[in-house]
Amino acid sequence: MQSLTSTYHLSNGVTIPIVGFGTWQMEDGPTTVHAVHTAIETGYRHIDTAAAYQNEGSVGKAIRESGLARSDVFLTTKLQNRDHGYQATHDAFKRSLQALGVSYLDLYLIHWPNPIAFRDRWQTVNAETWRAFEELYEAGLVRSIGVSNFRPHHLETLSQSARIIPMVNQIRLCPGDVDLKTVDYSRAQNIQLEAYSPLGTGLVFDVPDLQSVAQKKNRTVAQIALRWSLQKGFLPLPKSTTPARIVENADVFDFDLTQEEINQIDNLTDCCDQALDPDKTNF
């Protein structure tokens, strides 16, 4: 039976726990420290943060206080939008390590393909940013590198200058919000898909089809959404600051959805909001 310590293999052979603890929309401070403590006590060994979340300090503090060896936790953070570019990336990476209080990362992601400040030249800026990522990787400061919110044309453009193909693409991905083109493209390139907001930031709970599957399986809607994510080969990053939910979201390994149930969930559309189109945002 799988568990919170089961892993996928990234394209470079690094193993990554198949569920991560998401920390988006968690404020820096005791709530986040407490939530990460609870997650670690529950058995999560993969924590996902970002410079833009402004909670790296709390995440790092909780990991240190847990007493776990650094190598027992898979830690991800992300380059924030204002720090794109070669030297800015190197500088931002150092700041993130310092804020987290660690000497290396397990995964570093470009958070957004084309921030508004670089929208007119994102192709060349991403090439420079990625060159810095490759250097950090080759220097052993980060065990794997990837991207977030990239669509196929962003990945395709990056691959024209990249020496190393991203190992991960983290996108908003939940029942009713599956960007099939990005999913198919990433899979074809052997890029592991991570699912942020795997509960649709809470929207999954109101979906009748998910409620009926949950009732049939005697499970919660959250568990059905997370189980679906895992059976699709995604890597869900559920977020919660509520201890009972942190535990509930980890209790997803002792049941299977049938192919029919998977198909039913695959067929959901437009019920959980759609991921933003990076080419159209104003940030």
Residues binding ligand A2P (CB under 6 A) = 22, 197-202, 220, 222, 238-242, 245, 248-249
> Least distance (Å) from ligand A2P to the CB of residue 218?
15
Tokens (6 digits) for 154: 């962003």
> Least distance (Å) from ligand A2P to the CB of residue 221?
7
- How wide is the angle at C-alpha 28 spanned by C-alphas 170 and 226, nearest 5°? 35
Options 53, 137, 185, 196, the catalytic residue: 53
Q: CB-wise, 101 or 243, nearer to ligand A2P?
A: 243
Of 93, 90, 111, give the one whose Cα is nearest residue 103: 93
Kindly report the backbone phi and psi dihedral angles of residue 145, in degrees, each rounded to the nearest multiple of 5, phi listed first: -135, 150
Tokens (6 digits) for 75: 């830690």
Q: CB-wise, 25 or 98, nearer to ligand A2P?
A: 25
CB-CB contact of 265 with 232 (8 Å)? no
Q: Residue 8 burial (CB < 10 Å; 0-12/13-18/19+)? A: middle
Q: CB-wise, 22 or 85, nearer to ligand A2P?
A: 22
> Least distance (Å) from ligand A2P to the CB of residue 216?
18
Tokens (6 digits) for 103: 């000497």
Judged by phi (left if over 0) then psi (alpha if -120 to 50, else beta), residue 165 lies in beta
Q: Is 53 a catalytic residue?
A: yes
> Least distance (Å) from ligand A2P to the CB of residue 64?
23
What amino acid positions are annotated as catalytic residues?
A: 53
